[in-house]
Chain A
Amino acid sequence: DAGVTQSPTHLIKTRGQQVTLRCSPKSGHDTVSWYQQALGQGPQFIFQYYEEEERQRGNFPDRFSGHQFPNYSSELNVNALLLGDSALYLCASSTRTGVSYEQYFGPGTRLTVT
């Protein structure tokens, strides 16, 4: 049983560009959450998707947007990249009614903005 997978593993972009990160949840999970982890800091909640809709959102600007597909996979889009967007982006999957410890994290995508 594959766990949470994310692609790509690493990505280098230039300021002002746009980026799309992808996440496939663990089998049986229907909810996907995205977190941003800057170097030396803990993960920060960006948003959560369930039933193809954004259900909760953290304190992130509208440049951060997402999407969830019918197969529960998800994308995170970031527009007009800033140097400060450089971070490890983690995807976590769970079930809508599950407990928090049953939330599994993917290996992340390391985004570098130059």
Chain B
Amino acid sequence: EDKVVQSPLSLVVHEGDTVTLNCSYEVTNFRSLLWYKQEKKAPTFLFMLTSSGIEKKSGRLSSILDKKELSSILNITATQTGDSAIYLCAVEPNNAGNMLTFGGGTRLMVKP
């Protein structure tokens, strides 16, 4: 059974801080790892990492996939209050037709 574990469960930082969120996974026949941001209800896509694309960056956010350690990190630099959300990590096996296994999420709160 595929498994995704995220840490920490929650995090409180102040604006301007840098945070690192962790995701470790066990999946049969890995295809991709995805990061989502969930502010209220609908998760919104941030990054997808695959064996051929192990590092992604968008503005203050970046993510790296460690294929050897079966893990990924999501970095957020110069945090803002608008970054407050639940961050979800998910894995997709090959031939799974977009079926995702999610971790429990990390709740990030950024204080002014």
Contact = CB atoms under 8 A, between A and B. Distances in A.
A66 interface: no
Nearest to B48: A101
Interface residues of B, number: 25
Nearest to A96: B97
Contacts of B96: 56
B32 interface: yes
B41 A100 contact: no
A100 B50 CA distance: 11
Contact of A56 (B32, B48, B90, B99): B99
Given A42-B105, A100-B100, A108 B48 contact: no
A106 B97 contact: no
Interface residues of A, number: 29
Nearest to A56: B99
A55 interface: yes
Given A45-B100, A48-B97, A99 B42 contact: no
Given A31-B98, A33-B99, A43 B48 contact: no
A98 B102 CA distance: 19
A28 B35 CA distance: 24
A88 B41 contact: yes
Nearest to B43: A105
Contacts of B99: 33, 45, 48, 56, 58
Interface string B36-55: 00001111110010000000
Contacts of A107: 40-42
A48 B98 contact: yes
A40 interface: yes
Nearest to A45: B99
